[in-house]
Copies of this chain bind each other. A is one copy, B any other.
Amino acid sequence: MEKAKKVEFQNPLITCDCSDCVLRTLMFQYTSEEEALAICKSKIQKVVMKGETIVSQGEPIKNFFYIKDGLVKLYRQFQNEKDTQIICLALPYDYVSLLTVFHDSEYRYSMAALEDTTVCILPIDFVKNIIRNNGPLGMGFLEKSSLSTDRIINNYITINGRNLRGRIAFILLDFADRVYHRDFFELPVSRKEVAQLIGMTTENVIRILSEFRQEKIIRINGKEIEILDKKRLNMICEHG
């Protein structure tokens, strides 16, 4: 993950056939036939392998991204590498790009794939143009934007108010309920990344996962996690 190679978009591997795009309802719900066609032509679709970086903070903003399939992390790095914070994990249908692309000239956050991921890429100027020509589409973007950022803020508020056990419980439930919709899953992140996501040290992430294992709340086998006592986990999440 640390040595992630940078993906180049100059030569797209695939041009999306929009007729089968799972995101049709999002992007095309409000667009005319011509606009839809124009979008298809401008859009490139790229498969990014687990561990690869999609964009890095500080680069000039050229593209709008959305996740067609897979899982990515949005994160902020600092001089002191150990201060890195993960802002959120983004799933298909999340417009993670929305955070900065509409008001700034440089990406403020970096984005990397946690699983093999298909990203759809549109030139930002093109997106801005079709929004300017299509009010309902702009409204759609506002709804999505509002939803994504509200969720991020809500996460921060939630995590802030919890002790370490509560945070681990929260993140496990988030993986089970929001990300995988299963109580048995393979953690897509390292212990260190969990720590960066919920603001604690790697050692304590491990320690508390071990506690939960000893208390028969979860079963752990490397990256495999199974939630055995969800009621208990919910209790810990709610009341430390």
Binds B, one of A3-11, A146-154, A213-221: A146-154
Tell me, yes or no, whether A180 is within 8 Å of chain B by CB: no
Q: Are A143 and B103 neighbours in the complex by a CB distance under 8 Å?
A: yes
Question: Which DSSP category, helix, strand, loop or mixed, fits chain A's interface?
Answer: helix
Q: For the complex, what is the distance from the CA of A103 to the CA of B83, rounded to whole Å?
A: 33
Which residues of chain B have C-beta atoms less than 8 A from A128's C-beta? Answer: 139
Which residues of chain B have C-beta atoms less than 8 A from A136's C-beta? Answer: 132
Size of the chain A interface, CB-CB below 8 angstroms = 40
- CB neighbors of B among A59-103 (8 A): 76, 78, 83, 85, 87, 98-103
Q: Are A146 and B103 neighbours in the complex by a CB distance under 8 Å?
A: yes
Which residues of chain B have C-beta atoms less than 8 A from A135's C-beta? Answer: 131-135, 137-138
What distance in Å separates the Cβ of A54 from its nearest Cβ neighbour in chain B?
19
Q: For the complex, what is the distance from the CA of A98 to the CA of B161, rounded to whole Å?
A: 24
Which residues of chain B have C-beta atoms less than 8 A from A150's C-beta? Answer: 99-100, 103-104, 108
Number of copies: 2
Q: Using CB atoms, name the residue of chain B closest to A109.
A: B153
Given A131-B139, A141-B138, are A99 and B161 neighbors across the interface (CB < 8 Å)?
A: no
Q: Mark A100-126, 1 if CB is under 8 A from B, else 0.
A: 111110001000000000000000000
What distance in Å separates the Cβ of A26 from its nearest Cβ neighbour in chain B?
13
Q: For the complex, what is the distance from the CA of A144 to the CA of B83, rounded to whole Å?
A: 28
Q: For the complex, what is the distance from the CA of A141 to the CA of B103, rounded to whole Å?
A: 10
By a beta-carbon cutoff of 8 Å, the part of chain A in contact with chain B is: 76, 78, 83, 85, 87, 98-104, 108, 128, 131-139, 141-147, 149-150, 152-154, 156-157, 160-161, 199
